[in-house]
Amino acid sequence: MAQKIIGIDLGTTNSVVAVMEGGQVTVIADDDQQRLCPSIVAVNDGAAPLVGYPARNQLVVNPRQTIYSIKRFMGRRHQEVAEEEKNISYEIVGGPEEMVKVRAGRRIFTPPEVSAIILRTLKDRAEKFLHSEIQKAIITVPAYFNDSQRQATKDAGGLAGLVVERIINEPTAAALAYGLDRKQISKVAVFDLGGGTFDVSILELSEGIFHVLATNGNTHLGGDDIDRRLVEWVYTEFEKQNAFPLNRQPQVFERVRQEAERVKCALSFEDSESFDLPILETRDGKVFNFTRRLSRADLESLVRGIIDRTINPCRRALDDAALTPEQINEVILVGGSTRMPLVRRVVQEVFRKEPNTSVNPDEVVAIGAAIQGAVLSGEISDVLLLDVNPLSLGIETYGGAMSKLIFRNSPIPATAKEVFTTAVDHQTAIDVHILQGEREMAADNRTLARFALSGISPQPAGAPRIEVTFTIDVNGILNVAARDLATGKEEHFEVKPSYGLTEEDVNRQVDESIEHAFDDMDRRMWVEHKAEAERVLAATHKALSQHSGKLDGGQLEKIDALITRTEKALAAEDWHELKSALDALNEATIPLAEVMVTEAIKKEGAPGPSGHDPGSH
């Protein structure tokens, strides 16, 4: 008997786990018969973390150590989520260029670590239901998640003790759940507005084949933004009413935010609802409350601009699929935010038809993931899923342009090759700068990774032939190779986010609790970064002793300062700061490395390089 593969919808607001049993998909409930698991983790020093409803229950009394909406920070740098960071109660740490981390109690967590706690809870729930160990899972992500966000999700699954068999897009999973028994050819639009992200996908369903034609979306748009708009309305109205601003202490902010969420949900079914927030503020012995009735029309007026931001992605997806609204047979709604009557009216305006409301928007994604799990385990044999790559992938070329190798909405898995050359005489190395995005210039797109191909034989500009190969797997995760066709020298690089865990890390942690997993990862990261720091410092000191006279004063001063910073981080045994210092030191020593290469070439009688292509140091 094949091992069960569970399906997990790891959501911004709620998460769900489902499994195929006896030809039917079951959404698995907890001991209290709750099918949804709030995506909230409460960290209490010295105790196991709380997950789901228990964590949500302590959000107001312990907001600094209760983490929610972590999905919005998965695979993200601080500069990418500056607005989101302003609207949470827990503490975010790190510099603008660094990956987001969360401080809760005495620990610092990465978003994959927090997500792993949620996934572990869902895994335990499934094992209790099935009375057997679960090792494999399908995990869904927004269709517009980039490579770093997908890698972060896969890392979270590994930390939770799961082999992630496939990462699939949420709208695609929803279409699987909707169309499993449908045999006729139909064009389907999946409109997915969740707590933190928005996606729209256009699919063709035909005889068990699910072919994604196009996808679009916005990973900074969801129900959280509606809640935030209501929170700001409360703060504005309170100040108008009382002539002084309401404080933004975490406990008060969380009370307002939770009440805003409750009122928003109620107004999907009622014409009006009251805000009821007693004892929000006390001044000079006087208690200040906030009570105000809000109509559905008032809410829609407040948030219409937010909902309208879903319109253009829908139109772009239709254009990419070369379809008109009239050619769409069905529109499926996914995500709790699609319960809002305003959202349903906007969907009807765009697609010119009533959306299908027969599926549960909170559960349909997990159901589709469970179906895909059954396909991979062999329980279902007549379903084929053909997904697409949501964003273009390419490299930087001379002059700072982006050359795209795999275009958005290309079917995956996919492989693309292109031959590049050098732009500078006698160039011996290239910097392969891997990018994701749709803009023409590299600086306007997202950097995924960089790696170097060295050992190129010095030749006149335009003579070397460098073959770059991009391979994107069924999870939408990228591998890159660069090869000098003349010498056969080749470098491979699996694109991983900067917090990425090695396979050994994940395997070692599979059978351990989340608490032990965190400790193990911290220890490993310290050992690895300590060894790298010692190597880099030794090499830098040696290079400076031989070539410092070739650098200007500003370059030397910057390198010396970063050497001191790195040595201090080593002494403090702080691997987070050590990694940041090493990254900065490696960048600052690029001119020194170029001097060394130039000197080496001069000894061989060849002129030195002045730049690189594709890309440039």
Pairing of strands 209-218, 198-206: antiparallel
- In sequence order, which ranges of 452-513 are alpha helices (DSSP H)? 503-509
What is the Cα–Cα distance from 448 to 394, expressed in whole angstroms? 10
User: 170 an active-site residue?
Assistant: yes
Phi, psi of 57, deg, nearest 5: -65, -20
What is the Cα–Cα distance from 278 to 280, expressed in whole angstroms? 6
Residue among 222, 215, 214 at smallest CA distance from 261: 222
4, 30, 71, 80: the catalytic one is 71
Phi, psi of 161, deg, nearest 5: 85, 25
Where is 29: in which H helix or E strand? none
Q: At 304, which amino acid appears?
A: R
Bond preceding residue 614 cis, omega within 30 of 0: yes
4, 9, 379, 613: the catalytic one is 9
Q: At 434, which amino acid appears?
A: I
What is the Cα–Cα distance from 285 to 616, expressed in whole angstroms? 65
Residue among 566, 562, 564, 617 at smallest CA distance from 595: 617
Structure tokens at 346: 């906007």
In this structure, how many other beta carbons lie within 10 angstroms of the beta carbon of residue 228? 18
Question: What is the Cα 289 distance to its own chain's centre?
Answer: 39
User: Helices (H), strands (E): how many in the chain?
Assistant: 16, 28
What is the Cα–Cα distance from 291 to 256, expressed in whole angstroms? 11
113, 147, 155, 192: the catalytic one is 192
Q: What is the DSSP string of 176-204?
A: HHHHTT--S-EEEEEEEE-SS-EEEEEEE
User: 91 an active-site residue?
Assistant: no
What is the Cα–Cα distance from 419 to 180, expressed in whole angstroms? 42
What is the Cα–Cα distance from 578 to 580, expressed in whole angstroms? 5
80, 113, 155, 170: the catalytic one is 170
SS3 526: helix
Q: At 311, which amino acid appears?
A: I
User: 418 an active-site residue?
Assistant: no
What is the Cα–Cα distance from 128 to 139, expressed in whole angstroms? 19
Strand-pair partners of 267: none
Residues with catalytic annotation? 9, 71, 170, 192
